[in-house]
Every structure is written in structure tokens, then in C-alpha cells.
Structure 1
Amino acid sequence: MNQATALRALLTQDKCHVMPCCFDALSAKLIAQEGFELTFMSGFAASAARIGAPDLGLMSYGEVVDQARNITDAISIPLIGDGDTGYGNAMNVRRTVAGFAKAGCASIMIEDQLAPKRCGHTPGKAVVSRDEAYDRIRAAVDEREALREQGGDVLILARTDARHEHGLSEAIDRATAFSELGADILFVEAPRSEAEMRAVCSSLPGPKMANIVEGGETPDLPNAALRDIGYSIAAYPLSLMASAMQAMVTTLRSMRDDARPGQMAFGELRRRIGFDTYYESSKRYGSAERRHD
């Protein structure tokens, strides 16, 4: 079963999948090790981890695809990649979809923000016209169909940020059109209340994704409530990044004071990274085994 097929199967289940978001191969590996069934490469977190810069369109297409490829090489659960605005016009969107699919992503998110895009819960967002937004999704769907003709597959996650500047009604209208154009998953970013979240899910067909940013504009509801509202996926884009950064800052401050904070034992660290699996596999090869002595 390829990853796109695996993701489609997950979306048929009557549940809201908790989806911690990764930012590199190691964070994705930890997500899989803890039994989560899918993950998303957060653009916010990936930009911070890879180039140490904010999610303001600074990472290039090539850098993002390379990051996605490293992640899919490390895990066997479906990865949704953040394709931002598609990195150009409709033809660029097609190339972006093809590149993410080739990198092993089960799905790619394409959004309707102006380029360079911004994090969905920060000020200054603006969206393109309806026609340009629809062209992006139309191009993404066209590339998905071309991939299927060649034996491949990828799901299109269509995102609108229109709520911020134009209101919820415009966001719902855009997402409805995205569905009619063939998008597989719909994502209305930053509804500001549970009532707005219910309006989104009751108005739109098919699987919907909620984006839960701790301290962001969308209410951080329990998973049971998100399922009742009608979401199929609950993404948590910054939970791991924020936790990792807090732990590293705490450790650094302790080291500065010549203290030694509690941390993961070296044995577990090695196991989770994959040393034990590597050594076990290498026993088949005498020359490789001798090099470890």
C-alpha cells in the first residue's frame, strides 16, 4: 500500500486523527514510534529548524522538497507536505505537486495566500483573487490525475486563509469551490470560535482538517469535540517544536550554570535514533560488523 492509499484509508475511518506535526526526520520518527498514524511537515517548524528563520516564504521550493524527502525516508506513516502557495503560477503548482509526490508525500497542501505567504495565525495575511485561488487548486488536481495515469497518487489538501481578511462566508465559499474542483481534503484556516468551526464542517463536504495552534485564534478543543464537530484530522503544527525549543533552552541555561538537567538516557537515545536496528541488521555482513569492534 502506498502512502496516498494509506491516507485515503485513514480518512474513511469515523474518527478525528490526532496529527502531531514534524519538522525534520527525527521529529517525524518520534511521532511514528509513539503510534501516531500520520504526520504533517509544518512549514513554520521546518523553516525554524532548517534555516532558523520565520515562516514568511523564505524557504525555497527545493529546500522544502528536500526536507520532505528526508522525512519520508525515515518513516512509514503518511506525510502531508506543506506546498505553501505552489511557488509561482499554476504551472509551478503542478511542478510542486509532482515534486512532493516524488519525494514520497501522501498529500500536499496548496493555499490561497499571496506570496510570500505567512503563518496562518500571524498578522498581515492576504489572499489572492478567487480566480487565481481556483487556478491553483485546478492545477494541483490536474497534476494528481496525471500522476494517477502514470501509476502514482497524491491527495490534494486545499487551504484557504480568506477568513482573516474577508470573513467566514468567503472562506467557506472558496473551500466549497475547492471541493468542486476535486480537492481531497479541505482546510479553512483560523476559525475563531467553536460556532465558526461547526459552520465550516456543516457547510463543507468530505474530510476537513482543523489546525490547532496553542495560543492561536482557533479554540484548542478536546479531540472528542473536534470529531463531533466533523473534523477528520486535527493538526498540531507547533507542539513538538515548542516543546523541543523549551527543553533545549532549559538545558542550555542549566549548562551555563554548570548544572546537569534530566534528559533522555543515552541507551534510549541510541535506540530511538536507530543504532540498535542498524547494528542488528549489520550482523549479516562480516566486514561491516568488524568495523564496529
Structure 2
Amino acid sequence: MNQKADELRRLLAGDELLVMPCCFDALSAKLIAQAGFPLTFMSGFAASASRIGAPDLGLMSYGEVVDQARAICEAVDIPVIGDGDTGYGNAMNVRRTVRGFARAGCAAVMIEDQLAPKRCGHTPGKEVVGRDEAFDRIRAAVDARAEDDILILARTDARHEHGLSEAIERAARFHELGADILFVEAPKSEAEMREICAALPGPKMANLLEGGETPTLPHEVLAGIGYRIAAYPLTLMAAAMQAMVEALAALKQGPVGPERLMDFAELRRRIGFEDYYATSAAYRSSVRRMG
């Protein structure tokens, strides 16, 4: 059994809203875990920007995405949800994608109904596949789950092109097919968010992109509406990029002041130097004793 999947199931069975900052690499995931958050999501938008310096428009390959997910999972003990995009092909590709994320250590994988190559959920030009193909993707994902334990986060982007009713109907069918978590992307108002949660069973995720189409409601409001997970896909990346741009501008004028920088000792501690030294000391002692 997948211990991370079991931990995610336990979290979803609770009553509190799960606030989920999204990561883009192993270091950002470590910072999320160190801050005490119970889970994280590998944002495809942020991972694409971080790994290949390119927008999230289907440019990263399956292998690159799974490799990024594996590095993240190895760095933290909290459950990680991986972004499986459209599954990278037909239903058989979806099966391979789901099993690949499970074997990389993910607790869950997201599969969506966009037309490949996919687009970020809050950018223009999104299209979705027909219902039959969308349902086949989730059916294949659920079948793969029987072989490698992992939760399925089923996403629909149908709101953009076909309206909220179509998105809700697709998500309801995803639940019937066995999806563990439902994600209707980009509702445009609190009223739409309430309609989604009232209409759909099971755990539901809200995607809260600062400056995006969905209102970033307070946590207590999200919990009251009926969401179980509040995902913040770009908060860390936007904060990190802003800090780096400001530091680079300052560096043109001279050395960057300490007020802009994490203390070097704190930086080493968070990366793991002190843990490494403490663990390796035992082996050095063993070598000395043997000598």
C-alpha cells in the first residue's frame, strides 16, 4: 500500500479545510513541509517555469514531469499530489501516467479533460475533449489505481467553453467513475463556487490563483461552502520571483543588504546541512573506531 495515499485519505476524512500551497521543486516542497502544511501539489505551471523556463502549455514531457515529481516526493514526508495533465495521450497513456506518478511516490495524481496540448486553467484558449474521451481518461485512471495505490484528482475545464452546468455534469460523472477528489476549474464567482459544492459529492478542491478568475475567498468561507482543499498554485513562485527580481535590481547598485536575504545559518539549516552533518558524524566515528 502507498503510505502517502493512506495519509491523504486520512486528511480528507477530517473536518478542517486543507490549505495546500503548491510547490515547483524539492526545495519549495521542503519549505512547505517545514512551515507545517499537511500536503502539497506540484503545480504544472510553476514546475514548467522552474524546470524548463517555459510556460505551462504542454511543453514538458511525461518523463520530465514524473522526474520532477519524484524529486519532490523524495524530499518531503507529506503527501504530494502530482499534475498528470491530460494523461499524455489516449486511455492507455493515462494508465501509464497514473502508475508512473504512484511509483514516483505521489499520494494522488490529477487528470484533466483539456484538449492536448493543455493550457493553464486561468489563461485564454482552453478547449476540452468530448465527454466520452473525458470519461475514458478517468475510467483508465481508476483502473490504473487498482494496480498501484494512488488517489485520482479529476479536473474539468469545461466551465470556460461550455458553461458551469456542463462542468458540474462532467465532474459528477467523474465521481461515479471512481475519482477520489473533484476539481471544477475557474468558477468566476462565489455563487458559482457554492453551486459546485452543493451539486457535487465527495471532496472538492478550490484553485485560488491570485489575480486569476476565481475569487480568493477566506479559508473559513471556503470551508463553509464545502471545499476540502484550498490550493494556492502560484503563491510561492510569485513571491520567489518577486524577491529575486528585486534582489537582482539591488545587486546592480552594490552588495545586497541583509534585510533582503535569509540568514546564511538559517538557509543552511532549511536546506538540510545540519541534519546531514549530524547523521554523517556516526559514520565518521565508525571509521575512526575501525582504524
Give the TM-score normalised by the residue count of structure 2: 0.96
Counterpart of 1:201 (choices 197, 200, 225) is: 197
Could you say which residue in structure 2 is the equivalent of 1:150? none
> How far apart are the structure 2 equivalents of 1:257 and 1:62?
41
Q: Structure 1 unaligned segments of length 5 or more: list them.
A: 148-152
Could you say which residue in structure 2 is the equivalent of 1:285? 283
- Aligned partner of 1:284: which letter? A
> How far apart are the structure 2 equivalents of 1:285 and 1:33?
26
Could you say which residue in structure 1 is the equivalent of 2:221? 225
Please list, as runs of the form range in 1=range in 2, the aligned pairs for 1:13-28 lying within 5 A after superposition. Answer: 13-28=14-29
Aligned: 1:271 with 2:269:
yes
> How far apart are the structure 2 equivalents of 1:187 and 1:223?
17
Could you say which residue in structure 2 is the equivalent of 1:11? 12
Could you say which residue in structure 2 is the equivalent of 1:84? 85
Aligned: 1:2 with 2:14:
no
> How far apart are the structure 2 equivalents of 1:156 and 1:58?
23
Per the TM alignment, residue 260 of structure 1 is displaced from its structure 2 partner at its CA by: 1.5
Please list, as runs of the form range in 1=range in 2, the aligned pairs for 1:149-188 lying within 5 A after superposition. Answer: 153-188=149-184
Could you say which residue in structure 2 is the equivalent of 1:61? 62
Fraction of identical pairs, as percent: 73
Could you say which residue in structure 2 is the equivalent of 1:33? 34
8 Å contact from structure 1 (residues 78, 106) kept in 2: yes
Per the TM alignment, residue 172 of structure 1 is displaced from its structure 2 partner at its CA by: 0.1
Given the superposition, is the C-alpha separation of residues 288 and 274 from structure 1 closer, same or farther in structure 2, using an over 3 Å criterion?
farther
Could you report, residue by residue, the CA deviation over 1:52-100 in whole angstroms, capped at 9, with x for unpaired residues? 0000000000000000000000000000000000000000000000000
Could you say which residue in structure 1 is the equivalent of 2:238? 242
8 Å contact from structure 1 (residues 140, 156) kept in 2: yes
8 Å contact from structure 1 (residues 91, 139) kept in 2: yes
> How far apart are the structure 2 equivalents of 1:155 and 1:87?
18
Could you report, residue by residue, the CA deviation over 1:250-275 in whole angstroms, capped at 9, with x for unpaired residues? 00000011141321000000000000
Could you say which residue in structure 2 is the equivalent of 1:215? 211
> How far apart are the structure 2 equivalents of 1:181 and 1:89?
17
Q: Structure 2 unaligned segments of length 5 or more: list them.
A: none
Per the TM alignment, residue 231 of structure 1 is displaced from its structure 2 partner at its CA by: 0.2
8 Å contact from structure 1 (residues 7, 106) kept in 2: yes
- Aligned partner of 1:229: which letter? I
Provide the aligned length of Structure 1 versus Structure 2. 285
Could you say which residue in structure 1 is the equivalent of 2:137? 136
> How far apart are the structure 2 equivalents of 1:255 and 1:84?
38
Q: After the TM superposition, which segments of 4 or more aligned residues of structure 1 sit over 3 Å from their partners?
A: 287-290
> How far apart are the structure 1 equivalents of 2:156 and 2:286?
51
Give the TM-score normalised by the residue count of structure 1: 0.96
> How far apart are the structure 2 equivalents of 1:146 and 1:132?
22
Given the superposition, is the C-alpha separation of residues 131 and 94 from structure 1 closer, same or farther in structure 2, using an over 3 Å criterion?
same
- Aligned partner of 2:84: which letter? G
Per the TM alignment, residue 146 of structure 1 is displaced from its structure 2 partner at its CA by: 2.2
Given the superposition, is the C-alpha separation of residues 33 and 253 from structure 1 closer, same or farther in structure 2, using an over 3 Å criterion?
same
CA RMSD of aligned residues (A): 1.2
